[in-house]
Amino acid sequence: MTEDAAPLRRRLYGRSKGKALRQHQTELMTGLLPRLALDPSSPLPLRPGRETRLEIGFGGGEHLIEAAAREPEVDFFGCEPFVNGMAKLLSRIEERGLANIRLHQGDAAEVLDRLPDASLSRVYLFYPDPWPKRRHRKRRFVSPENLDRLARVMRPGAELRFATDIDDYAAWTLARLRACDAFRWRAETAQDWLEPWHGWTQTKYEAKAMAAGRRPVYLTFVRQAD
């Protein structure tokens, strides 16, 4: 999709920086990040013969780093606008010496609009900002516009994995995905959305949510063949 043809994008995140970074984190942001950064203005680095997956809003990178370490034959793209989350993941990449992660500090839609058709085998969307105030709900990532983006870049049979601890956002997501002909909800029993996926890595956010008494749901949607 060309830049002129790309749908209009809304900012889907709030502040992008928290507490001050430590010195080494700052060095990684200026040294390592440019080497791993995706450039949405150029063709994205899809390697022939390799599966590519995308994590949208990876937070501190707990899931992304473990997934990439477990499957070194798979390439992972990670998008995260929050500076502190990006710095944490860079530290983990350096520690683990991984070479199959590329990063985008910003809106995931910028990457989606530059990916070729049917190029992703899986997309992760875990604990996105729920934007609980009614006037802000248009900022939620799950929207008809973004589902169209995902449908274009996901190959038939590819999975969209979604997790949230916010009941309203779970219902919102189910309503929009079930209204989208490009995706099928895979669940057959209640346990299918109450238990995480095999090999799941619990994030720091999820641990806090469960400690506060909120029960996550894990939704899997499959890209249908056109």
**What pLDDT, in 10s, does the model give residues 12-44?**
444 455 578 888 999 999 999 999 999 988 889
Span 172-215, pLDDT tens digits? 999 999 999 999 999 988 888 999 999 999 999 999 999 999 99
Active site residues per annotation: 129
The chain-wide mean pLDDT, for the chain, equals 91
Query: What confidence tens digit (pLDDT) does each residue in 44-95 have?
Result: 999 999 999 999 999 999 999 999 999 999 999 999 999 999 999 999 999 9
Contacts 24+ apart (CB under 8 A), 118-121: 118/152, 118/153, 118/154, 118/155, 118/156, 119/46, 119/52, 119/153, 119/155, 120/52, 120/53, 120/54, 120/153, 120/154, 120/155, 120/158, 121/51, 121/52, 121/53, 121/74, 121/154, 121/155, 121/158
